[in-house]
Structure formats: C-alpha cells, structure tokens
Amino acid sequence: MNMKSDDIILSGKGVTKIYGFGPNRTVAVDHVDFSFKRGEVISIVGESGSGKTTLAKMLLGLTSLSDGQIYFEGKLRDIRTHRQKREYWKNCQAIFQDPFASFNIFRKIDAVLLDCIRLRHGRRLPDEQKVEMMREACRFVNLKWEELTNKYPFELSGGQQQRLMIARIFLLRPKILLADEPTSMIDACSRATILDMLMDLRSEIGMTPIFITHDIGLAYYVSDTVYIMEHGRFVESGSADDVILRPKEAYTRRLLDDVPKLHEEWDLSTV
C-alpha cells in the first residue's frame, strides 16, 4: 500500500473464499484487493450470487478466509480467539437486510440495547446512566424509549426494527459499519428515513460505512467510492460519479440499463 497506512481503515489483499471441494468447488470471492479510506462511504454493488454477501461476512469476521489477508488499521487482523473477535466487533458492526431475523425474538428490546452498552462500557455502569444512554440512542432514531421498554422486537414494524438496529450502532460507536442491503425489505418512503439516519450517524460518530447492495441507485446516492462486483471479482471501482455516470465496463453498463429511470427511456429490447 502506497498511501499512508493510517488513512486506510480496512484493506485486503488477495481475499478469497472457496466453498466446497472437488466437483462442488465454488469460488465465491476470487482474489479481491481493496483499501477503504477512513471516513469515506463505500458501496459494493453486485447482483445476487456475485459474492458480495460472502465478502461482507469475511469483513465482519463471520467466516474465515480461504486465502489472502485483511488488514485493520494497517495491522494484520487477528481474530482467532473469541476474545479477539469481541474486540474486533467493537470496531466493526453490521446492519442486515432482514430486520425481522436480526433480533432474538425471546429477548426484549431493552436487553438488546443493554448488550451493546455492556460490550462497549463493561458491566460497571449505574442503572440511571444506562437508561439515559438508551433514551439518547432511541431519540436519535426517532423512537421513544418509554414506548419500547418491555416490548419484544416483533411488536415493531419493519422500519422501526431497522431504526432500532441503528440505535444499536449509535450505542456501540464502531469505526466501521457494514450495511448489507439495509433498505431492501422496507418501502421507498422509509428508505429515505433510514439512509438519512445512517448518514447523520456517520457524521455524529465518525464511522466508515460500507454498503453492500444490489441497488445501484442507492449506491450512487450515498457513496463516495463504488465497487462493482461480478462473479467474485471487482470489475470496476472508483468515485461514484465516475462509475455510475461514466461506466467503463460492459457489466456496469448492463446493471445500469436494467434499472428503470425517470429521465431516460427504459430500453426493454435488451433482455
């Protein structure tokens, strides 16, 4: 890496994931290199099956790498033990696609938020302070803690649950936030709300958001740098304006063509 290493928050060299072996061998992510700058908004765009979720899982440390290395803040990431993993997850958190599947349905909302406080501040906090922190987090995402306490996650709507996920992130204040299709299960109106909140949160706690999405419009709206992924490889990357408005690769152009737009004719003959 030529750049000053403290500018780069997360980077990878030859990151590869192979599932199965023999005739079933599938290369999900194929020798991918990347370096994400601190404070930048990054999007990884790809269709279903392009390996973007596998890459996200590796970035989060949820699956092991078949080959290659990931560097976190310039140092080789070492998450072999559970203790090291917990330490890493203080810095790297995620929001997933399906808010209904993201919560343990047997645990109340307070417990979810208290877990976050415990991960960040340890166990020795007075109760009043914990309540104040939960209030603040809920206020940030336009929820009322008084109405949430003693409720279960499934009592909330999809948009509210996704906001609760953001409240979690607010409490944890990670350096990196991986958002894996954060808005694909909610409708267009709530989508704007969620994206606004994520962007506010970014300026509030100075994190680096990484969006994993198939929605190229969303990637264009939020991000500074866009990576286009096809068959486990990055086919194109660069600033959002360059990639979306002046795409070089045929694959990027095809992805763009497939999206219905407002000011351009949607050409259906290319199917």
Partner 1 sequence: MTTPMTRAMLEVNELTTRYITRFRESIYAVDHVSLSVGDGKSLGIAGESGCGKSTLALSLIGYYFPPLHYTSGEIIIDGRTITGMDPDEVRKTILGREISYIPQAAMNALNPTQRIIHFIEDVVLAHHPGTPKKEIYERARERFELLGLPASVLQKYPVELSGGMKQRTVIATSVILSPKVLIADEPSSALDVTSQKMVIKMILDLMDKGIIKSLVFITHELPLLYNVTDDIMVMYAGQVVEIGSADEIVFDSVHPYTRALMGSIIVPEKGLRDVKLTAIPGTPPNLKNPPSGCRFADRCKYVRPECRVAPVDLHETASGRVYRCIIPEQELRTLYEHEKR
In the set 20, 132, 157, 250, which binds partner 1 (CB under 8 A)?
Answer: 157
Nearer Cβ to partner 1 (18/199): 199
216 contacts partner 1 (rule: CB under 8 A): yes
Residue 207 CA to residue 177 CA, distance in Å, equals 7
Asked if 61 and 89 count as a contact pair (C-beta separation under 8 A), the reply is: yes
In the set 25, 106, 122, 189, which binds partner 1 (CB under 8 A)?
Answer: 189
Listed in sequence order, the DSSP H helices in 76-209 are 82-91, 99-102, 109-121, 127-140, 145-148, 158-172, 188-205
Coil vs helix vs strand at 115: helix
Binding segment for partner 1 (CB under 8 A), chosen from 56-64, 96-104, 116-124, 241-249, is 241-249
In the set 2, 82, 154, 268, which binds partner 1 (CB under 8 A)?
Answer: 268
Residue 93 CA to residue 178 CA, distance in Å, equals 6
Which residue has tokens 């694909």?
Answer: 184
88 contacts partner 1 (rule: CB under 8 A): no
Number of residues lying near partner 1 (CB under 8 A)? 40
Give 43's DSSP letter. Answer: E
146 contacts partner 1 (rule: CB under 8 A): no
* Contacts to partner 1 by CB under 8 A: 47-48, 142, 157-158, 186-193, 195-196, 214-221, 240-241, 244-245, 254-256, 258-264, 266, 268, 271
